[in-house]
Amino acid sequence: MKTILLLICSNAFMTAAWYGHLKYRQTPLVLAILASWAIALAEYCFQVPANRIGYGEFTLFQLKIIQEVITLSVFVVFAWLYFGDSIKWNHGVSFMFLVGAVVFAFMGKA
């Protein structure tokens, strides 16, 4: 559970670093890059411990698949709250395929 919580925190920072500047497109690119790097540093402070703690509890492939599902989940919330975007049916279907990937990734784990 600790790994999952750290990954959620990590992804909240990374999503803000990658996409938050898009709301302020008039800001000079170099400032957007510097701000994104600063936010990404905080992301790494959560990501590295999450991977260290999670590796062994999960296989490397499982850890990555969990990371991707969390990334998309955090992104959906971010896009909705910060940009006012909504998820469309095809996005929902795509997300369900990723949930299927998680199911398949964990099938062999006893």
Domain map of the chain by residue range?
Answer: 2-105
- Range of weakest confidence among 18-27, 72-81, 95-104: 95-104
Q: How confident is the model at residue 33 (pLDDT cuts 50, 70, 90)?
A: very high
Q: How confident is the model at residue 44 (pLDDT cuts 50, 70, 90)?
A: very high
pLDDT value at 108 more than 80: no
User: C-alpha dihedral over 61, 65, 67, 68, to 10 degrees?
Assistant: 140
pTM of this prediction exceeds 0.85? no
